[in-house]
Amino acid sequence: MYAFLSGKRIILVSRSPRRIQLLNQIKLPFEVAPGLFEEGLVSRKTPAEYACHQALQKALSVVSQYPEAFLIGADTVVVDEQGILEKPVNPADACQMLRRLRGKTHQVITGVAVVATGKTGKDVKYLVRYESTEVRMRALSEEEIQGYVRTGEPMDKAGAYAIQGVGALLVEGINGCYYNVVGLPLVLLMKMLKEMTR
Amino acid sequence: MYAFLSGKRIILVSRSPRRIQLLNQIKLPFEVAPGLFEEGLVSRKTPAEYACHQALQKALSVVSQYPEAFLIGADTVVVDEQGILEKPVNPADACQMLRRLRGKTHQVITGVAVVATGKTGKDVKYLVRYESTEVRMRALSEEEIQGYVRTGEPMDKAGAYAIQGVGALLVEGINGCYYNVVGLPLVLLMKMLKEMTR
């Protein structure tokens, strides 16, 4: 299935266990490199520009270590009409985020960067794209929000929920790519890898 | 989170490893019972009626063995404008199904039955509902179809693909509940269990 990659090394520049699990799911051979990039809000960008910027910076941060490889960077943000929701800083913050999202549709945007490095690791080519998925959250009761936050699951998740976990029970439905919501839009990534090998 | 169940036994009447995995995902305490019901097409029903009928028959088939419990039955069908797609009988059949689904939107419908048994296991109450999700499949090339069928994944799946596996790469997007496509709509199931305990 991955003959088009011609055996080129694929490096996922991410510490996210979800992204690692998703590439295992599609049986793509890959290695993991933790990015050397500090995450942080960049001002004056749209959420999609922000996610793309972060994704590219992650991938570029290890360029010199991986010559002749494809480096994959990704960054996922949760967005409503008020702006970007980051990871909650504590359980009270998680409750506040879920109160903000309940009973409404929000967007999940993942920026994806594929960086192809040359022989020296310096001559790079790259592609950056993003995928956006609508998520409709149920009208959660206060009891449900507190019960979910007590599971501990929201604490390291943007927007304070994990659709691939117990958080499945919070989501009425989605419109778009499910894996984008988990953290890595697999179909988009595969299109980008194919484009890079052309 | 499941205090509303008041410790009642939950029995999943299914041999599907996907359904077992999904109930584990939401940390619901449950037991598994293989249904004593033979699957088979019932004529002159809509796909939703058919899935609901199958789901209820599965759950009812073990009623006498589980007094004072909630029995869960489920049945998932893939439907396009020509009708229901079953599990493929061989790899050629799987290729044919994927050619039929590619580049178009189809429906995945899961019928769900919750049967509450009384003290004798005979006085039963039940609820039957279904969830429907739209799935947009990519315009797969012949090479992609054959590559996917060679993975072996399509053989025990209705419609010849598994969105939760390598088949993730076939699906452009969905509209509705993702877990319904995997085989058990978790939010619908939880609503039904709550309704039953009222």
pLDDT digits (tens, 9 = 90+) for A149-195: 999 999 999 999 999 999 999 999 999 999 999 999 999 999 999 99
The verdict on ipTM greater than 0.95 is no
CA B128 → CA A132, B19, B53, distances in Å? 34, 17, 8
- Pairing verdict, β A124-137 and B171-176: unpaired
Please, what is the average pLDDT of chain B?
A: 93
* B57 to chain A, closest Cα gap in Å: 26
**Testing the interface with B: which of A22, A142, A187, A188 to mutate, by most B Cβ within 10 A?**
A187
Residues of B in contact with A151 (CB under 8 A): 1, 27
Contact at 8 Å (CB) between B133 and B176? yes
* B43 to chain A, closest Cα gap in Å: 31
Residues of B in contact with A163 (CB under 8 A): 178
Q: What is the pLDDT of residue B40?
A: 62
Minimum CA–CA partner of B186 in chain A: A169
Minimum CA–CA partner of B190 in chain A: A169
Better-predicted residue by pLDDT, B149 or B3: B149
Dist. CA A5–CA A70, nearest whole Å: 9
* Catalytic-residue membership of B156: no
Residue A41 has pLDDT above 90, yes or no: no
Dist. CA A55–CA A33, nearest whole Å: 14
Give the Cβ contact number of residue A42 at 10 Å: 11
Q: Which of A147, A165, A186 sits opposite B168 (nearest CB)?
A: A186
Compute the average pLDDT of residues B17-34: 94
Residues of B in contact with A147 (CB under 8 A): 1
Q: How confident is the model at residue B120 (pLDDT cuts 50, 70, 90)?
A: confident
* Residue B62 token pair: 């073990």
Better-predicted residue by pLDDT, B40 or B35: B35
Task: Specify the length of chain A in residues.
Answer: 198
Q: Which of residues 53-112 of B touch A (CB under 8 A)?
A: none
Interface check A138 vs B, CB under 8 A: yes
* Residue B157 token pair: 């799946």
The reported pTM is: 0.92
Residue B42 has pLDDT above 80, yes or no: no
Contact between A175 and B173 using a beta-carbon 8 Å cutoff = yes
Query: In this predicted model, what pLDDT tens digit does every residue of B69-79 receive, in sequence order?
Result: 999 999 999 99
Domain limits of chain B? 3-197
Minimum CA–CA partner of B151 in chain A: A1
Instruction: Please count the residue pairs, one from chain A and one from chain B, whose beta carbons lie less than 8 angstroms apart.
Output: 72
Please, what is the average pLDDT of chain A?
A: 93
Angle at the Cα of A38 from the Cα atoms of A32 and A40, rounded to 5 degrees: 125
Compute the average pLDDT of residues B115-120: 91
Better-predicted residue by pLDDT, B42 or A52: A52
Task: Please give the class, per CATH, of domain A3-197.
Answer: alpha beta
Interface check A148 vs B, CB under 8 A: yes
Angle at the Cα of B163 from the Cα atoms of B113 and B144, rounded to 5 degrees: 145
Query: In this predicted model, what pLDDT tens digit does every residue of A134-146 receive, in sequence order?
Result: 999 999 999 999 9
Compute the average pLDDT of residues B55-61: 94
Kindly state the DSSP code that residue B56 receives in the 8-state scheme. Answer: H
